[in-house]
Amino acid sequence: MFIEPFIGAKNKKDKKGHIEVICGSMFSGKTEELIRRLNRALIAKQKVEIFKPSIDTRYHDLDVVSHNENAIRSTPVNFADDIILLAGDCDVVGIDEVQFFDNQIINVANTLANSGKRVILAGLDMDFEGKAFEPMPQLLAIAEYVTKVHAICMKCGDLASYSFRLSDTKEKVVLGEKESYEARCRKCYYEDKKT
């Protein structure tokens, strides 16, 4: 269970930034948890800025949208460095689908946290081949708080932490939803990967 850190510093000088990472497979609720945390910050009257990679237009061109169709306004960006310029004087920065950014997102997260911001990142920790999805391993290493969420295996109903691609394409990044991917437990993932 994730316990949100105390973020009630009285003035900007006293604010201590940190990094939170939400990771897991497709359909595990990563974006849902990101939206929940950002909405709580908004309720607390904190200044919040949300970003996503501009290539992610699956549900909406601008908004961050979960599979359950919960949405929050966001700013699509082409490059991770753009986030530093656009974050301004906000208190909380949310970034969805971080696996679609290059390794510069690590420096961006550190820069924002070092300036006193709460940085919440969500993304896949493994790609469709079951390998670490860069830059997530480095983000997990520098984060003060890590939450791994799980989906339900589409074959057996057990907890799932793998994203099984239904097509034969070998490209690393293939945007898709239920027509392209299924959440799988370890056993079901590796059984079907062999065939």
CATH code of the domain covering residue 87: 3.40.50.300
Say whether pLDDT at 1 is over 60: no
Between 43 and 59, where is the model more confident?
A: 43
Residue 163 counted as an annotated binding residue: no
Q: What is the band of 116 on the pLDDT scale with cuts at 50, 70, 90? A: very high
Note the pLDDT of residue 68: 60
Note the pLDDT of residue 194: 72
Note the pLDDT of residue 55: 78
Residue 24 counted as an annotated binding residue: yes
Residue 157, domain member (yes or no): no
Residue 23, domain member (yes or no): yes
Yes or no: say if 39 and 84 are a contact pair by the CB < 8 Å rule: no
Residue 156 counted as an annotated binding residue: yes
Note the pLDDT of residue 169: 77
As annotated, the active-site residues are 97
Say whether pLDDT at 150 is over 60: yes
Residue 163, domain member (yes or no): no
Note the pLDDT of residue 119: 98
Q: Using omega within 30 degrees of 0 as the cis cutoff, is the peptide bond preceding 135 cis?
A: yes
Residue 186, domain member (yes or no): no
Say whether pLDDT at 161 is over 70: yes
Residue 192, domain member (yes or no): no
Q: What is the band of 170 on the pLDDT scale with cuts at 50, 70, 90? A: confident
CA–CA separation, 158 and 4 (whole Å): 27
Q: Which domain holds residue 111?
A: 15-150
Residue 97 counted as an annotated binding residue: yes
Between 127 and 168, where is the model more confident?
A: 127
Q: What is the band of 193 on the pLDDT scale with cuts at 50, 70, 90? A: confident
Q: What tokens appear for 107 in the block?
A: 């420096």
Task: Please give the share of the chain, as a percent, with pLDDT higher than 90.
Answer: 70
Q: How many domains does the chain have?
A: 1
Residue 100, domain member (yes or no): yes
Residue 38, domain member (yes or no): yes
Q: Is 140 exposed, middle or buried (0-12, 13-18, 19+ CB in 10 A)?
A: middle
Q: Residue range 63-80: average pLDDT?
A: 73
Q: What is the band of 18 on the pLDDT scale with cuts at 50, 70, 90? A: very high
Residue 53, domain member (yes or no): yes
Say whether pLDDT at 3 is over 60: no
* Residues 6 or more apart in contact with residue 194 via CB below 8 angstroms: none
Say whether pLDDT at 7 is over 80: no
Say whether pLDDT at 60 is over 60: no
Cα atoms in the Cβ-side hemisphere of radius 13 Å centred on 125? 20
